[in-house]
Structure 1
Amino acid sequence: MPPLFVSHGSPMMALEPGATGAFFARLARAIERRFGRPRAVLACSAHTLADRPVLLAAQRHQAVHDFSGFPAALYELRYDAPGEPAVAQRAASLLRAAGCEPRISERGGLDHGIWTVLMHMWPAADVPVVPLAFPPAEPPARLWALGRAVAPLADEGVLILGTGSLTHNLRLAFARPWGEDAPEDPACAAFRGWVREHAESGDWPALLDYRRRAPHAASMHPTDEHWLPFYPPAGAAGEANPARRLHEGVQYGVLGMDAYAFGPHAGALADELKSV
């Protein structure tokens, strides 16, 4: 089960899926055709954060409407998915073996970075989900190590999913008056291109040091939390494997919507996507 990073976009993705929502639907079909239905999704999201790793081991989750100022119809949407406490316990055991001290919580809830993606992948909400909160102040290398610790889950049928944003500067997005389909800002294009070049060549030292090495890193990510979910799935795949970009896109000219697969089966997933 190849680990994945996806860009989840605005909460309006739930009502207006556009090209990225259509990609999520195709992605789920490709995963099932090539690898089977996931036993569960271990989700690291930019919107579920804690002071140390926390696994939400509820028996059932509900969609959390963790936003404001959107149309009433968005708040009426539900995505009530099962949890998988056994996977939460297994992940906690792997993290402890790697020297982490995770907490396990019986609380549930899926933030919009999780449910607005999964509702297009598995609309019936019948794939169990285990959110894994992470500390937003951790450097990329620590998030990589977290992913490395839970890597065995991928061989056990668990989809390790990071959900954030390839670029995320809302101030720039809101300052641009020409709308969602605006031409891409050159700084956004440069950052996205740099990520693709280094991810698909397997240059993980550069990606782990993205703040110093990537062009316009501070502009594209004034804070790290939407980029850090890239690293757990990348870490789960290990240094020996380059990534594959599965999807690209830009909203409002500055919000990158790219998605990546990691590990030795990333190419097989990319090939499968071409036929669905």
Structure 2
Amino acid sequence: MNLSAPAVHRLPSLFLSHGSPMLAIEDSPTGRFLDRLGGLLHRPRAILVASAHFVHARPTLTATPMPETIHDFGGFPEPLYRIRYPTAGAPALAHDIAERLTTAGFDAHEDGHHGLDHGVWVPLRRMYPASDIPVVALSVNPSQSAEWHYRLGRALAPLRDEGVLVVGSGGFSHNLRALHWQHAQAAAYPWVTAFTDPLRAALLEGDVATALDWTSLPHAAQNHPTTEHLYPLYVALGAGGEGARGRLLHRDVEMGGLALDAFAFDTA
């Protein structure tokens, strides 16, 4: 009988565009992509999600044993508010990550009460519908920089060798005021393509400097008038490790202005 511990496979880090909360229940190309994605990865022992909807001045980790499902949105169909994602938390892992971030120079904090916002549970519900993998959420800070979030991600990179799936959940473009809400399949606006094309190319080429200098790309502020949905990308990029390159897993645009690119980052 072989009593050795099972092998732990190095996981990529992921950036996922979570789009509208309706992604949780509607059929869409992005929903179908997420339905397949979990089965394409080695099963993680835990998942860490840096979410656009979890915002703090200092890096904060959920340390709740059984986190609640937070419905942090309004104006959507009632069935969406009945959804629960009853996964366990991982307080010990949250504490371990907080210590690593502190060692890396961040003022990390553990929150023993906060639940899982829709930036966490919407994509995970489609990837892992059994909700049987422990989850920890990590906050972002829109007042910091892309480079700060990249350094945050670099401190998380060793987790990938320990069976932890590191995910940044945000949006490749995110300007809700400009969306064509009545036309889900509207073609991408020219200003969206002008921004996302060079950013995507930089990620695929492993050109970290250009990716970090996102404000110099065309129409940057129009694509991201606020930064909370972009910065999870840089957490995922940093977690990919030194010399990581992006692999494009999925791309789509909804309502003309919601770019839904997804990437894996690793050095392979």
Specify the TM-score bucket, using the shorter chain as the normaliser: over 0.9
Q: Which amino acid aligns with 2:85?
A: Y
SS for the counterpart of 2:107 is coil
2:117 to 111, 133, 143: 111
| Equivalent residue runs for 1:110-129 within 5 Å | 110-129=116-135
Higher helix proportion: 1
C-alpha distance in structure 2 between counterparts of 1:238 and 1:49, whole Å: 24
- 1:236 maps to 239
- 2:154 maps to 148
- 1:19 maps to 29
Is it true that 1:6 corresponds to 2:16 in the alignment? yes
SS for the counterpart of 1:243 is strand
C-alpha distance in structure 2 between counterparts of 1:143 and 1:17, whole Å: 32
SS for the counterpart of 1:150 is helix
Structure 2 unaligned regions, length at least 5: 1-10
C-alpha distance in structure 1 between counterparts of 2:196 and 2:229, whole Å: 14
SS for the counterpart of 2:15 is strand
Deviation of 1:80 (Å): 1.2
2:254 to 247, 251, 255: 251
Is it true that 1:28 corresponds to 2:28 in the alignment? no
Q: CA RMSD in A?
A: 1.2
Deviation of 1:177 (Å): 6.4
| Equivalent residue runs for 1:1-276 within 5 Å | 1-31=11-41, 36-173=42-179, 176=180, 179-212=183-216, 214-265=217-268
Q: Which amino acid aligns with 1:111?
A: D
Deviation of 1:242 (Å): 1.3
What is the TM-score of this pair, normalised by structure 1?
0.91
Q: Is the 8 A contact 2:68 2:116 kept in 1?
A: yes
Count of aligned pairs: 258
Structure 1 unaligned regions, length at least 5: 266-276
Q: Is the 8 A contact 1:191 1:216 kept in 2?
A: yes
Query: Residues 187-244 of structure 1, C-alpha deviation per residue, up to 9 Å, x if partnerless?
Result: 11222211221111111111111012x1111111011110000011101123412111
SS for the counterpart of 2:136 is strand
What is the TM-score of this pair, normalised by structure 2?
0.93
What percentage of residue pairs aligned between the two structures are identical?
44
Deviation of 1:18 (Å): 1.1
